[in-house]
Amino acid sequence: MVDYEEIKKLVLIRLEAMPPDIKVSIGSEKDLSREELFREVKNETELGKLIIKMQLEYLRSMKKGF
Instruction: Identify which of residues 1 and 17 has a Cβ nearer to other proteins in the complex.
Output: 17
The minimum distance between CB 51 and other proteins, in angstroms, equals: 9
The total of other beta-carbon atoms located within 10 Å of residue 48's CB is: 19
The minimum distance between CB 26 and other proteins, in angstroms, equals: 4
Q: Which residues bind other proteins (CB under 8 A)?
A: 14, 17-19, 21-28, 30-31, 33, 47, 50, 54-55, 57-58, 61, 65-66
The minimum distance between CB 66 and other proteins, in angstroms, equals: 4
* 9 contacts: CB under 8 Å, gap ≥ 6: none
Using alpha carbons only, what angle is made at residue 11 by residues 37 and 50, rounded to the nearest 5 degrees? 65
- What distance in Å separates the CA atoms of residue 41 and residue 27, rounded to the nearest whole number? 16
